[in-house]
Amino acid sequence: EGDQIVTCDAVEMLACSLVSVSGSFLPTDICRLQRQTPGCLDRHASGTLGITMLDGPLKVGTRGSPLALAQAYETKRRLAAAFPDELGADDAVEIKIIKTTGDMVLDKALKELGGKGLFTKELDVQLLNGEVDICVHSMKDVPTWLVPGTVLPCNLEREDTRDAWISPNAASPSELPAGSIIGTASLRRQAQILARNPDVKCVNFRGNVQTRLKKLQEGVVDATLLAYAGLNRMNMTEHLTSVLEFDEMLPAVAQGAIGIQCREGDAEILRYLDALNHEETKLAVDCERAFLAALDGNCRTPIAGQARLVEGQLLFQGLIAKPDGSIIFETSRAGTPADAVQMGADAGAELKGKCGDDFETFFAGDDVAPEPVSSMSSKTTDGLGGYVEA
């Protein structure tokens, strides 16, 4: 059990050895992971973790897209506000950009790349190796399993979770004429669109917000969808045509929520994150992720789920669908906040039962079609969800 550097391959191997038990995500027969950096994280003979105080800036790991950076700097701002004496100085918190597989490979659908951990694996590696102290994520990109040795104890207050519709040709997906092309890499969005308007076509549409808007402006598609929360965080809501209500487009699990991950047992960091956590958001996200975990959901499966507190009661809506929208199963729950995880797990089990004996076959069907040619098709990706300009 000597110290070891953790690699992306090791993280991927660990992901395959995890199971979900009653909403908790536990390792099965895996080696203990340790951080190599001396003096920062030591495993004592008793098995407990000992953490020293920070001896430099608090390092924040993040993807490099404009939206990811906006979320990282928002986290830095909130840390400074909550702990002005410790983290108020500009150099007390350092932002570190980490390139991920999901941002580097833009010419393939997410399903082709494997689905799980595409935007988090490289961040997990740097967190476990002690290169960063926390990682800031869009929660909808975080797998329901967490790499052993890490926890995700903090969600910032959630933004509006709805999807934004952007099109010069129609006010909503149902109003697009037959033969129209919608750019989206999301099977969840594709299934719900085709269920209401089967005469349109969905094509792969990858990249950061700015990249996708540029492709839309070139006219390679007639419309696209983005998370309204992302546009709002970057002050880019002038681009939206309309905001879609839940009955037209149920959002992704954990959409609109920012999550902050750290090493397990890191008392100093956990103290900081506890002050930032928004309990109502955390309850809703935990409920939704339990639903997703019960369905073993990822980027390859059309699944949507939303939970919210209304007058002290937790309300949940969820659905699963075939990729072509020909079948959609829906469910809902109401309960107390204390039952959040169980509610989500029960809802997931209900819908899984409706799929029949062969769960994987239910999700088989039309995938998102290849992306049409644009001015960026032959360019090299910059690893930040965009392309290198000539």
Known catalytic residue: 141?
yes
Report helix, strand or coil for 281: helix
Q: Provide the Cα torsion 63, 67, 69, 71; round to 10°.
A: -110
- Paired tokens of 109: 């659908």
Tokens of 320: 């699963």
Contact 39, 207 (CB under 8 A): no
Q: Which of 103, 141, 163, 382 is catalytic?
A: 141
Question: Torsion over CA of 86, 35, 132 and 120, rounded to 10 degrees?
Answer: -140
Dihedral sign, CA of 46, 47, 53, 55? Answer: positive
For the chain, helix (H) and strand (E) counts, in that order, are 13, 17
Please give the Cα distance from 42 to 40 (Å, whole number): 7
Residue found by looking up tokens 């006010």 in the block: 171
Active-site residue set: 141
